[in-house]
Amino acid sequence: MQDIVSDLQAELGARVMCESAVTHAHARDTWSLAELLDYQGQPACSPIAVVEAGSTADVAAAMRICRAHKTPVVAYGGGSGVCGGIFVGEGTVVVSTRGLSGLISLDNGDLTATFGAGTMGGDAERMMQEHGLTIGHWPQSIEVSTVGGWVATRASGQYSTGYGNIEDIVLDLEVVLPDGEILRTRRTPRAAAGPDLRQLFLGSEGTLGIVTEVTVSLRPLAEHHVRQAFHFDGLAAALAPVQQLMREGWRPPVVRLYDPRESRRHFDEACPKERAMLILLHEGPKTAATVEASEVAALCEKAGGVRADSSAVDEWFGKRNEVPSFRSLVEGGLVVDTIEVASTWKHLVNIYDAVTKSLSEVPGMLSATAHTSHAYRSGANLYFTFVAKPDTPESMVDVYRDCWARAMRATLDHHGGIAHHHGIGRVRRDYLASEIGDTGIAVLSQIKRALDPDWLLNPGNLLPEPTDRN
Ligand SMILES: Cc1cc2nc3c(=O)[nH]c(=O)nc-3n(C[C@H](O)[C@H](O)[C@H](O)COP(=O)(O)OP(=O)(O)OC[C@H]3O[C@@H](n4cnc5c(N)ncnc54)[C@H](O)[C@@H]3O)c2cc1C
């Protein structure tokens, strides 16, 4: 039988790249553990080839050829995933979506834009702003992630409290299925036409198909902005007005509340010691933004909030998309990661207390902190950051896994959901059954098997591989 690389080259020519610099650069994403393993000499495998698809037809051809050869295929967008969604195993072909880049259509009347899935988020947003429009999706990683990656991971942006998460913004999708067939959903604001097939791919993390085009519903850029900040006597004291403002129906796009340690780290003197800082952005038509800002301010002050200098908020906005690198931390012997979870209001403080307490009991833990950055009528997320310095380099991987196990266990014990927006990947894969039950795993596995009978799309990601499950 002919070698898969020759078959790919015969159909896709120079789009098939096998140079080691290229394949090495597509072996993994930004997962902290992958960085650590890499540093310790246990890197992910380099793929046998990287196909830089330039069209949906290229993706379909690559899928068909890989299926004929029973070769695993991994979709690669910006590589900014932080859960090990990309950690290539032996004999894998990577399909990079970066050639599927750019604006395909824009309809300013309907407020819709269609992008190639490999369009970088920042480029997509800038193209819209040139027309006075915005996607309203601002992950911190906007400059290093793709529109297709947002869909594949069910991403959240910093403005989600007002504008929703990616699933609220996506209008329709084009997806290449594992057999090379192309699925297109209809461009309509809503449908009662059976289960919503878009949802099957939102969060599928490259295991059910490769997203090739994404249509989003846009907004006009806001006429007016008001930024304000308040500090409170601790995280729990500040959660009460956040819950109340959501309950009353106010929808500031940005609602971020930091625990006292993170408040000092981010806002320094603008937030007194032991106080929790809440920052807010209100925007929209001038009258609406002004009224919302003043009503929310009254609510915060009634709850004991003290107005902080709004330059602290301006400073946060100035730095909000700076992307740190794990490499220098790993080189310094530090084990670091972020873990985002979610729950209904009544469990949030318990989860915060339980996770930070359990993490702080890890030997060598230097810091275990959290903030909440996405609020809903019925709850919010918590975003933990931990930094530990184990005694020896040999124990770093074990410490990393212990931290995750503690955070997952404490969240589940207190009725939280294990993942708010980074996805499952490999880091949470073995906790997914605790979230959706064995029946949920069986349903997802059967869907996977129906679409991808040979389990070739990103094996080992999101779901345990069939051989692991016995
Ligand atoms: C510093 C930093 C900040 C971050 N901030 C945020 C944040 O604010 N909000 C947030 O939600 N996330 C955040 N992330 C995580 C990450 O940026 C998101 O998960 C993002 O959506 C991933 O997009 P990507 O294009 O980089 O995907 P990749 O990392 O390339 O891939 C992610 C997963 O999706 C699959 N995939 C990629 N493209 C496709 C496609 N077209 N079709 C099918 N499957 C595909 C891959 O196989 C993989 O499993 C952050 C990451 C970093 C490093």
Distance of CA 404 to the CA centre of its chain: 17
How far apart, in whole angstroms, are the C-alpha atoms of residue 323 and residue 331?
Answer: 18
pLDDT confidence of residue 469? 43
Per-residue pLDDT tens digits for 245-294: 999 999 999 999 999 999 999 998 889 999 999 999 999 999 999 999 99
How far apart, in whole angstroms, are the C-alpha atoms of residue 126 and residue 128?
Answer: 5
Closest atom of ligand 1 to CA, residue 201: 43
Per-residue pLDDT tens digits for 43-96: 999 999 999 999 999 999 999 999 999 999 999 999 999 999 999 999 999 999
Residue nearest to atom 45 of ligand 1 (CA): 206
pLDDT exceeds cutoff 60 at 468: no
Other Cβ atoms within 10 Å of 360 Cβ, number: 15
- Burial pattern 124-146, b for ≥16 Cβ within 10 A else e, equals bbebbeeeebbbbbbbbbbbbbb
CB 121 less than 6 A from any atom of ligand 1: no
Residue nearest to atom 9 of ligand 1 (CA): 139
154 CA → ligand 1 middle, Å = 9
CB 48 less than 6 A from any atom of ligand 1: no
Contact 335, 403 (CB under 8 A): yes
On average, the pLDDT of the chain sits at 96
H/E segment holding residue 63: helix 56-68
Contact 228, 305 (CB under 8 A): no
148 CA → ligand 1 middle, Å = 8
CB 422 less than 6 A from any atom of ligand 1: yes
Residue 428 φ then ψ, to 5°: -105, 0
How large is the C-alpha radius of gyration of the chain?
Answer: 22
Rounded to the nearest 5 degrees, what angle is found at the Cα of 147, between the Cα atoms of 143 and 150? Answer: 95
pLDDT exceeds cutoff 50 at 1: no
Closest atom of ligand 1 to CA, residue 165: 11
pLDDT confidence of residue 470? 38
The amino acid at 355: V
Closest atom of ligand 1 to CA, residue 461: 49
Residue 467 pLDDT grade (very low, low, confident, very high; cuts 50, 70, 90): low
Contact 334, 386 (CB under 8 A): no
Contact 212, 59 (CB under 8 A): yes
How far apart, in whole angstroms, are the C-alpha atoms of residue 20 and residue 10?
Answer: 20
Residue 387 pLDDT grade (very low, low, confident, very high; cuts 50, 70, 90): very high
Per-residue pLDDT tens digits for 188-245: 999 999 999 999 999 999 999 999 999 999 999 999 999 999 999 999 999 999 999 9
How far apart, in whole angstroms, are the C-alpha atoms of residue 75 and residue 66?
Answer: 13
Strand partners, 276: 232
Closest atom of ligand 1 to CA, residue 148: 41
Per-residue pLDDT tens digits for 20-40: 999 999 999 999 999 999 999
Residue 335 pLDDT grade (very low, low, confident, very high; cuts 50, 70, 90): very high
The amino acid at 92: T
H/E segment holding residue 76: strand 73-76
Residue nearest to atom 19 of ligand 1 (CA): 81
pLDDT confidence of residue 325? 82
Closest CA relative to residue 450, chosen from 85, 176, 72, 178: 178
SS3 of residue 448 by DSSP: helix
pLDDT confidence of residue 2? 67
Contact 100, 15 (CB under 8 A): no
Give the domains, in start order, of the chain with CATH numbers.
Answer: 4-96 (3.30.43.10), 103-220 (3.30.465.10), 224-319 (3.30.70.3450)
Pocket test for ligand 1, best of 32, 55, 145, 210 (most atoms within 8 A of CB): 145
How far apart, in whole angstroms, are the C-alpha atoms of residue 329 and residue 35?
Answer: 10
Per-residue pLDDT tens digits for 341-382: 999 999 999 999 999 999 999 999 999 999 999 999 999 999
> Which residue has 């950051």 as its token pair?
385
Structure tokens at 31: 């997962």
CB 86 less than 6 A from any atom of ligand 1: yes
pLDDT exceeds cutoff 90 at 466: no
pTM of the model: 0.97
- Among residues of the chain, what percentage have pLDDT more than 90? 94
Strands 224-232 and 306-307: antiparallel
Structure tokens at 83: 């859960």
How far apart, in whole angstroms, are the C-alpha atoms of residue 24 and residue 158?
Answer: 32
Closest CA relative to residue 24, chosen from 73, 68, 86: 86
CB 148 less than 6 A from any atom of ligand 1: yes
CB 72 less than 6 A from any atom of ligand 1: no
Closest atom of ligand 1 to CA, residue 146: 25
pLDDT exceeds cutoff 80 at 136: yes
Residue nearest to atom 11 of ligand 1 (CA): 155
Give residues with Cβ within 8 angstroms of 119, minimum separation 6.
Answer: 100, 101, 102, 103, 146, 147
Mean pLDDT computed over 176-199: 97
Closest CA relative to residue 222, chosen from 301, 265, 177, 284: 284
Contact 156, 165 (CB under 8 A): yes
Region for residue 249 given its phi and psi (left: phi exceeds 0; alpha: psi -120 to 50; beta: otherwise): left
